[in-house]
């Protein structure tokens, strides 16, 4: 199998062309073809000599692969299924919304976190995605040129694959890469401590923490990672950083009926986050098989939001999208892996 050029940094490409005996400036040409012109083959790199294209093609390929399936919602949301070179399936979701278009990307095949409400966790963990796997979800997207934002909220725990996530976000924001502002990228995590601190120190992208319950003992029932990475400890780490300028901090809160949707939880959430520059996103639960959790009434979400806002924490209710197309993360790839007809 040939090595992919997609996902390589400029420095890595300089090392490759040096090893192959090509002129140093060839690395700049290659990186421009991949990330600026977004070519799909080495043969398209026409300002490289025929000899150098042939030399490069012996061991390398651009490494772009199209989605193998897609499902389109009545609201315009599109879920794409990709197959990795190893034969695993991952999902991305394209979400158009007026003048915005967001792509939700995956960072792992499966996930170790095993959150009760997440279908991806039911798959177990099969491996990390490479930077090329992550970037391919954008690079090969039919709606690629309409994208305004990317969120790492798909399959997997980004901080459990931080090297590849940081490599991908570097290429998305670098002058030699996609040239995006870090403000267009949000990375979500349950809050792995070591990864959290490293991300905050090495990246300027927005951060979203999967919270879902402010009471540790109950959060642990929903999210086993709470036992190792307490939400109270996570918040204390976050208090050491400045979120009053460019970078935004948000907390994701799926609202479950009869579980975490009363004002008792809103009050605990206010106590937990008081004094922290942040926002809270309330999210409707997308039902998954064999899990005894249910959605809450819209009125409860409104009361919850209003209480939070009245007590100084900017809170929104995220619009639910794609409920008619296996909207919950992991459903489409699980069906594909198990050979279930959709």
List active site positions.
91, 329
Rounded distance between C-alpha atoms, residue 155 and residue 157, angstroms: 7
294, with CB counted inside 10 A (0-12, 13-18, 19+), is: exposed
Contact 285, 294 (CB under 8 A): yes
Rounded distance between C-alpha atoms, residue 147 and residue 185, angstroms: 11
Strands (E), 170-318: 185-189, 206-210, 249-255, 279-284, 314-317
Count other C-beta atoms under 10 Å from residue 223's C-beta: 24
If DSSP codes are grouped into helix, strand and coil, which group holds residue 89? strand
CA 176 to chain centre: 22
Contact 247, 283 (CB under 8 A): no
Rounded distance between C-alpha atoms, residue 334 and residue 149, angstroms: 26
């Amino acid at each position: 199998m040939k090595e992919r050029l997609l996902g390589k940094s400029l420095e890595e490409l300089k090392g490759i062309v040096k090893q192959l005996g090509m002129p140093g400036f060839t690395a700049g040409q290659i990186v421009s073809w991949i990330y600026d012109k977004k070519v799909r083959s080495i043969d398209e790199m026409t300002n490289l000599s025929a000899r150098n294209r042939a030399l490069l093609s012996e061991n390398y390929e651009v490494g772009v692969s199209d989605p193998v399936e897609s499902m389109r919602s009545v609201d315009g949301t599109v879920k794409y299924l990709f197959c990795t070179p190893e034969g695993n399936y991952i999902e991305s979701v394209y979400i158009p919304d007026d003048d915005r278009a967001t792509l939700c990307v995956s960072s792992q095949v499966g996930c170790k976190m095993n959150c009760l409400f997440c279908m991806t966790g039911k798959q177990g963990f099969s491996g990390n995605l490479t930077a090329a796997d992550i970037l391919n979800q954008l690079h090969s997207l039919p709606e690629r040129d309409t994208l305004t934002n990317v969120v790492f909220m798909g399959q997997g725990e980004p901080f459990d694959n931080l090297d590849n996530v940081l490599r991908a976000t570097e290429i998305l924001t670098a002058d030699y890469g996609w040239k995006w502002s870090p403000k267009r990228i949000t990375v979500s995590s349950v809050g792995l401590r070591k990864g959290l601190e490293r991300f905050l120190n090495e990246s300027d992208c927005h951060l979203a923490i999967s919270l879902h319950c402010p009471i540790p003992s109950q959060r642990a029932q929903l999210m086993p990672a709470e036992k190792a990475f307490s939400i109270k400890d996570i918040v204390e780490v976050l208090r050491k950083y400045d979120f009053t300028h460019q970078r935004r901090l948000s907390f994701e809160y799926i609202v479950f009926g009869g579980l975490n949707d009363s004002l008792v939880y809103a009050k605990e959430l206010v106590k937990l986050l008081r004094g922290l520059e942040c926002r809270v996103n309330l999210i409707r639960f997308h039902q998954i098989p064999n899990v005894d959790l249910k959605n809450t009434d819209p009125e409860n979400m409104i009361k919850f939001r209003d209480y939070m806002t009245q007590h100084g924490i900017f809170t929104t209710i995220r619009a639910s999208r794609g409920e008619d197309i296996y909207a919950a993360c992991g459903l489409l790839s699980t069906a594909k892996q198990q050979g279930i007809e959709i």
